[in-house]
Amino acid sequence: MLAHTHVPDMGQTQDPDASLKAAYRPLRVPVLMIAAHGPEYPIVFANAAFLRMSGCSGDEVLGQSWRSIVGEHAEPEALAALEASLKAGEGHDAEFLCRRSDGASLWGSLSVSPVRNEAGRVRLFIVTMTDIGATKQRERLLEEQLEQKKVLLQEVEHRVKNSLQMTASLVLLKARRLKSPEARKVLQEVAERVGALAAVHRLLHGSSDSGRFNIRDLAAELVGELILALPEGQVELSLDVQPIAVPASKAAALALLLNEAIGNAVKHAFPDGRQGRLTITIGRMESDLAITVEDDGVGLDHAPPPEGSFGKTLMTMLAHQLKGRLTWHDMEPGTRAQVVLPIGAEETRFE
């Protein structure tokens, strides 16, 4: 923006602003001068650079309202803000889609500066313009490229989700054909873990922000799938999960960790039709994210150790990968597994 210019009164000359116009006339920067009185604030000067940029002649510009230099699609708020600055005798910067005499449009950056006399009264406004069409075009291209990448990423998520779901189905199909109960159980657990990964990709694909997902949605989906393994009414479920956004980079590890923590409680805490309560709580704990799965089942010392199972080992590995802490507590009765993970600025609460 041009600095305020103090111009002495030149009442003895025919045009008091002649010397000022002479100074701006040869500039290669498009310049206008507009009168300091409303409501139209007419244009009183346009240099050759402005006429070339606009494609207008001097006769088409001089005497016209300052609004004539902007297109008919200019935002009313932007126009009102500039006019308010004119009325207040203040400078102003704005961007407008301006129009040329041939009907074409160009993006112009306008910088308005008041010119004052020795008494401090605004005599006129000087408007310098810059063609920013190339910048706007680069911005549009960048936006288009980002949108294309977003669409591509969503398509990849969709394909990965479908592939994982198909893999889980094939594993379950194979499990049903095996005679060994131990082998069937192993394959069923593999299918559950693949299904947990598929659930994450399903959520990422359906999210408006493919870079993160809502952990509450993930927990609800995993619980809904795992609880089906129990007879209806055997276990009372309490789910208290805050809507916290988690980056996609942590999606797979978190999905597997939740699947193991919830699955262990569902499968081992309530043997032989035992009834009980399962409580799942996920939320902030100071600057960390706490995941707690608690049951009032048979407890750590009484649950039968599943042969060939490595659920707890996997949970320990996943917690370490996420730089978290995994602890087990015997609640007498029942068990509480808690994972505390550090959360960064990218994890934010969904409003």
Element (DSSP H or E) covering residue 50: helix 48-54
**Residue 24, amino acid:** Y
> What pLDDT band is residue 344 in, cutting at 50, 70 and 90?
low
- Look up the pTM and report it: 0.54
- pLDDT at 109 (0 to 100): 87
Interval 240-262 mean pLDDT = 87
pLDDT tier for residue 304 given thresholds of 50, 70 and 90? very low
The per-residue pLDDT for range 40-80, each reduced to its tens digit, is: 899 999 999 999 888 888 888 899 888 888 767 678 888 88
**H/E element, 129:** strand 122-131
- Rounded to the nearest 5 degrees, what angle is found at the Cα of 307, between the Cα atoms of 306 and 308? 115
- Cα 285 from Cα 310, distance rounded (Å): 28
What is the percent of the chain where pLDDT is above 90? 21
* Nearest-angstrom CA–CA distance, 336 and 274: 18
Q: Compute CA 193 distance to the chain's CA centroid, rounded to the nearest angstrom.
A: 29
Q: How far apart are CA 103 and CA 73, in angstroms?
A: 13
DSSP state letters, 304-318:
PPPTT--HHHHHHHH
Q: Give me the chain's average pLDDT, please.
A: 82
334: left (phi over 0), alpha (psi -120 to 50) or beta: left
Q: How many CA atoms lie within 13 A of 107 on its CB side?
A: 11
pLDDT at position 195 is 84
